[in-house]
Amino acid sequence: MVMEWINQHFREIESYPRPDWEAIYSVVEKDYKDVDQHKLWCDIARTWMNQLISSLSSDYSIHESENFILVTSESEKYVSNFQIFLERTRKQILKSLQGIASDEGFGKYVVLIFDDIDQYYSYLSYFYENDGVYGLSSGVYLNKGYGHFAFPHQELSYAESITAHEMTHALLAHLPIPAWLNEGMAVSIEDLITGSAPLRMDNEMFARHQSFWGEEEIQEFWSGDAFHRPDEGQELSYHLAQFAVKSLSQDYDIFRQFANKAHYNDGGEAAANEAYEGSLGNLIAQFFGEGEWVPKPETWESMHSNNAAQSDAAEPRGWP
């Protein structure tokens, strides 16, 4: 049923078949409203993956589990272990972030593992501005069209760490939260699932942060720009986001209220004032002392471009 029409809605761009999701959504709304939507979007995802494999080497194949469609050329043992990890991690994130994370959406999650880093970056280039400068990537959740994961080949233990982080983003994709809150929860969940030691603000770490953050840099943190810096600011942004989430989540009920109301357009400031009866500037002052730490969205020139992936979709997979 799906194969007869969906193949008309692919365009080859930068060596890969790219689905025209707007056209596909239009066909579904017009002609397939009354069918099982989960099954339909699973069929669409499989067709899409078969198209993608045709542009890759013959070593790639499709593997399915209850909630995931995995495309890779990895060994049978690797695939089996990774599928178990994917299913277990999804359940653990939904439990750990109960009332915040959500599994809403039709179709299974799509996971791509590319043979090498060049192939990986070639695939990703379609999703980013050509003139942008970005830090290195070991994996990503692409929340555009049909949300999906992409990773380069890496050792299983490292792949699991990155996957836990990116899957947290996938399960938060229904919320228009600011990047710092999104990344802070993702790093915290990554440490929880992989058993990593919690990040600590020791003297060396504190000195690095104190010398980096100023009035201008903290606005990049609130807007999301800092997470795309190609220098140490990217690393320190992830650290600060994790510290911020740890501090805010001491009372999980209040944190849940905050996370569900926080919006990227003001860095979560209005939600913080409502839930915690205080500014996010006070949160940063706990770490670095008094200063101009309050989010100032009127100064954020690129706010919408950096948060667009979080606001494009109401659901994480096959429905806009």
pLDDT in tens, 199-248: 778 889 999 999 999 999 999 999 999 998 989 999 999 999 999 999 99
Q: Is residue 181 part of a domain?
A: no
pLDDT of residue 310: 41
| 256-283 average pLDDT score | 98
Domain count, the chain: 2
Final residue in a domain of this structure, among 171, 204, 233: 171
Q: Is residue 120 part of a domain?
A: yes
Cα separation, 207 vs 218, whole angstroms: 16
Token pair 């720009």: residue: 225
Residues 237 and 96 in one domain: no
pLDDT of residue 4: 78
What CATH number should be reported for the domain holding residue 61? 3.40.30.160
Provide the 8-state DSSP code for 70: E
pLDDT of residue 316: 39
Residue 143: how many CA atoms within 13 Å on its side-chain side?
23
Residues 282 and 147 in one domain: no
Count Cβ neighbours within 10 Å for each residue of 184-210 and write b for 16 or more, e otherwise: bbbbbbbbebbeeeeeeeeeeeeeebe
pLDDT of residue 134: 46
Final residue in a domain of this structure, among 143, 171, 199: 171
Cα separation, 112 vs 114, whole angstroms: 6
Residues 91 and 7 in one domain: yes
Closest CA relative to residue 227, chosen from 265, 259, 186, 263:
186
pLDDT digits 0-9 by tens, 172-189: 999 999 999 999 999 999
Hey, what are 2's tokens?
């799906």
Residues 142 and 17 in one domain: yes
Range of the domain at 35: 3-171
Q: Is residue 68 part of a domain?
A: yes
Cα separation, 244 vs 296, whole angstroms: 18
Residues 157 and 203 in one domain: no
Hey, what are 309's tokens?
């992936």
Residues 206 and 140 in one domain: no
Q: Ranked by mean pLDDT, which of 100-109, 225-234, 266-275, 296-305 comes out on top?
A: 266-275
DSSP-assigned beta bridge partners for residue 266: none
Residues 220 and 160 in one domain: no
Cα separation, 35 vs 5, whole angstroms: 16
Residue 269: how many CA atoms within 13 Å on its side-chain side?
17
Helix axes 76-96, 179-194, angle to 10 degrees: 120
Residue 238: how many CB atoms within 10 A of its CB? 18
